[in-house]
Structure 1
Amino acid sequence: MTCHELEALRLGLMNVLGTSDRSAREHAEKELDGELDGPIEGLAEADSLSDLQRHLDAALVDLEEQVAAADEADPEYDYLRGRLVAVRDAERSLARVVDHGTGFLDDLGETHHSLHDAFPADE
């Protein structure tokens, strides 16, 4: 059992960031071989942070359903629960990335306005 959600999120984040690390991409693609459908496919092919958030949320719903339906006596049960914790943590981390990006965008706007206040353009 592998953590498809995290590998797909890595691929999507590589898309968003423009990462060209071929070995990291190939590793993630190998982990996901035959698993690219639904939210996992959406994550792997995402090209924006909002797409990543949306598909990760859907993947979490699927994973929560798997955990709820799993037999606690199954040897894989603890791993499945651990996977859920890891994906929820990734969801919080992604939210922080979005918040920081939004803050950076706001800061650039303020800097731009401050620059024009200090050096007014001739109209």
Structure 2
Amino acid sequence: MYLTAAILSALLALVALAAGGPKALLKGDVSAGLQSHMGLSAGLVRFVGLAEVAAAGGLVMGLFWQPLGIAAAAGFALLMVGAVVCHVRVGDYRDPKLRGNAMAPFVLFAVAVATAVTLGLAM
């Protein structure tokens, strides 16, 4: 079970770091899109990015101390719930052109929950 938890943690950490880094630095199209399309402030975008980067760090450190990894995975899952709420508010799920990208938080939520559960079982 630990091998599964380690693989899920590493994959989720890479995704969280790749998604959070540009947001934390307010660089790239994603940060600009969150500000213009979603109506989020620059400070909130930066906060979300820093939370994603922190989750990545917690997931990596959680390989050595599972309670931290469980907390990081649970926190990342909550971030994805917030992302779904934001996508619902702006109507991304009704627009076929935007629906594909808006589904990513659902997938990442499922992976984060699976990571937390497998880390818990590996203890």
Structure 1-normalised TM-score?
0.48
Larger radius of gyration: 1
